[in-house]
Structure 1
């Protein structure tokens, strides 16, 4: 194993604790947050640990910017700043890739060439929106009266992002919120604060006024809870677990702030016997193992028609055993890195053991891999039934569960028999079946004969306990806007 030599700017960034980014200042705190490299279970660096008082400070800075330079900026200039930030992200994609590889563990080439690049594209898409956010004139029935609407920013937005895609999830939320004219207090996941702090610095460098983007790393129970409950925050956008989403809602009731939630998932992926088998197996494999299974849209429940289940299971097991697993900063371009933390690794391994105890058969992986870091061997489990815990709860790791089925109506009912509704899909050559699936599967995003595609222009979000609100596209602008009706007599 040979590790990459970090970029000089990354080395400098990690050399001393980074302060909170509030306004144009780096704020030191008495307490520090340890940032652990999950590839080695070692301390990578420390950053300032924010709490309720720091959230107060950040909200005040965001409010001052909203009522000051950011609130008076032209739509043209707002779009230009978003475009410049996109350029800066792409120009520094190596740094973003290394930071995500260090605190998240994902392979650096993936973090650089996928996460960072698509983050820049996300900002570019929303850079075109500020000049297109329009009200309308309404032909009302009152004689001699005129009515028109104005679409305005919500105000100060508290954004809480997860650890599975540190840079990309930040872009998903920041870009539309900024395009709509809001100011931001961002609390990144405590495990992965590095790219957020670095991006806040870039934003100032490209010309964003101080206070538009504030970053307060901290724990959810402290900084996150304070942000959700803060009376000066007008909107909270959250991505994370369903359990935490409920606490966000509870915390928001004080001033009835707007909430959008992208929560957990247990996606059903259905492989019919008429599918293009090579394409379906490859797609279904990466539907789960992409990002090491640490994705709310992972195709974790793979329903396979009984007539082809043995053939599919054998090929998936072979593919899982062939995956390369290693540290995020290894010079070898591994397929997968570690899971995010020791508690997460133990959780994943406990799920595997629970499946075994109920009679499920592990045909690949099933154990910790190596003796350092938080690596779980890519795992395929067959003979899974709907009532098993591993088929009901979100594992959030490299564990693919295989279930078999016989009948289309039966499998659609089983696919929908879940508390979640973030994503679902299937593989078939039957066009009529495609349309039936699109009608009957209950999820916010459906993938048919593909998996995992997203685009900044296409809405994304969940049903049921997977949350509400839609990120990306025109719907994301609506999440961060409010409409005012004006009457003239």
Structure 2
């Protein structure tokens, strides 16, 4: 049986999280919501399963298949209008190939069809989930422009009814920029450049979230090495946002500690109990 309890403003969620008769709370949501649930659950010491936000870096080396990377990001960056915690939203690309990659990415993004989700199967990008979220994403874009970040494509709201934002690629993004560190959760990909492997790994890891990442290279040794050094719960090599039920999904750092999918998810949803019988008389 599934019982859906709707609520608004955190009242229902707070009561469920703090109630002593609830044995576990599992949350898929924002980092702020995760902190609130963990605080509310602390008094009863109930188990808390948190699968929270992400800011997935996409590390593209000079030997990567640039066409395949750009084509993959067309889906991985804009599926569900970018409202996906594992979205490929932060590109770090090797300096010598940055110009060629950005050109390919902008071409792919410019071909995306935006519209009402029920308007046809060829629609690829829909609206933001609410007016409040539309305003939030728009705020990130406006502040980025004010800080000198360049808009390669998109960057604006679309005319007409609904909360639509044009699929966006931002370039000339400086290290530590707000749009490069915080989860926008919208149809926005940022592009930064790096000079060598050490810088790529350092900058990819320099975010408070650690849900997912991807590495793009034709060098198998490099693919193994960089994937091991990235501090993210899921790292794909030469793909992004490919999920399978037999492997775990969950993050490190601010992305929480819950694991969905695979046998690992059973640990959070189960109690381990030891029963020992003495058969002596």
Per the normalisation by structure 1, the TM-score is: 0.56
- The alignment status of 1:225 with 2:14, answered yes or no, reads yes
Distance 1:217 1:456 in 2: 28
Judge conservation of contact 1:390–1:401 (CA < 8 Å) in 2. yes
Report the counterpart of residue 102 of structure 1 in structure 2: none
- The alignment status of 1:331 with 2:120, answered yes or no, reads yes
- The alignment status of 1:396 with 2:167, answered yes or no, reads no
Distance 1:393 1:331 in 2: 32
SS of residue matched to 1:363: strand
| CA displacement at 1:263 relative to structure 2 | 0.6
The C-alpha deviation readout for 1:420-476, integer Å capped at 9, x for no partner, is: 000011100111111111210000000110111111111110100100021111111
The C-alpha deviation readout for 1:133-157, integer Å capped at 9, x for no partner, is: xxxxxxxxxxxxxxxxxxxxxxxxx
SS of residue matched to 1:413: helix
Report the counterpart of residue 447 of structure 1 in structure 2: 236
The C-alpha deviation readout for 1:297-318, integer Å capped at 9, x for no partner, is: 1111101111111111122112
Report the counterpart of residue 80 of structure 2 in structure 1: 291
Distance 2:9 2:54 in 1: 20
- The alignment status of 1:482 with 2:274, answered yes or no, reads no
Report the counterpart of residue 322 of structure 1 in structure 2: 111
SS of residue matched to 1:447: strand
Report the counterpart of residue 133 of structure 2 in structure 1: 344
The C-alpha deviation readout for 1:224-244, integer Å capped at 9, x for no partner, is: 111111111001100000011
Distance 1:331 1:303 in 2: 34
Q: What pairs with 1:129-208 in structure 2 (closer than 5 Å)?
A: none
Report the counterpart of residue 96 of structure 2 in structure 1: 307
Q: Runs of at least 4 residues of structure 1 off by over 4 A?
A: none
Compare 303-312 and 217-226 and name the one that shifted more: 217-226
Go from structure 1 to structure 2 and tell me whether the alpha carbon gap of 1:477 and 1:220 turns closer, same or farther (over 3 Å shift). Answer: farther
Judge conservation of contact 1:460–1:472 (CA < 8 Å) in 2. yes
Match of 1:425 among 192, 210, 214: 214
Distance 1:397 1:423 in 2: 16
The C-alpha deviation readout for 1:67-91, integer Å capped at 9, x for no partner, is: xxxxxxxxxxxxxxxxxxxxxxxxx
- The alignment status of 1:246 with 2:35, answered yes or no, reads yes
Distance 1:245 1:400 in 2: 25
User: Where in structure 1 are there 5+ consecutive unaligned residues?
Assistant: 1-211
Report the counterpart of residue 50 of structure 2 in structure 1: 261
User: Where in structure 2 are there 5+ consecutive unaligned residues?
Assistant: none
Distance 2:67 2:2 in 1: 46
Report the counterpart of residue 199 of structure 2 in structure 1: 410
| CA displacement at 1:220 relative to structure 2 | 4.8
The C-alpha deviation readout for 1:267-301, integer Å capped at 9, x for no partner, is: 11111110112111211332211221111111111
Which protein has the bigger helix share?
A: 1
| CA displacement at 1:371 relative to structure 2 | 2.1
Distance 2:34 2:40 in 1: 10
Judge conservation of contact 1:263–1:465 (CA < 8 Å) in 2. yes
Distance 1:426 1:357 in 2: 31
Larger Rg: 1
Number of corresponding residues: 278
| CA displacement at 1:333 relative to structure 2 | 2.7
| CA displacement at 1:355 relative to structure 2 | 1.0
Per the normalisation by structure 2, the TM-score is: 0.96
Report the counterpart of residue 469 of structure 1 in structure 2: 258
The C-alpha deviation readout for 1:117-141, integer Å capped at 9, x for no partner, is: xxxxxxxxxxxxxxxxxxxxxxxxx
SS of residue matched to 2:264: helix
Report the counterpart of residue 152 of structure 2 in structure 1: 363
The C-alpha deviation readout for 1:170-227, integer Å capped at 9, x for no partner, is: xxxxxxxxxxxxxxxxxxxxxxxxxxxxxxxxxxxxxxxxxx3211111251111111
Distance 1:367 1:388 in 2: 19
Distance 1:290 1:401 in 2: 16
Give the CA RMSD over aligned residues: 1.1
Q: What pairs with 1:86-125 in structure 2 (closer than 5 Å)?
A: none
Q: What pairs with 1:66-105 in structure 2 (closer than 5 Å)?
A: none
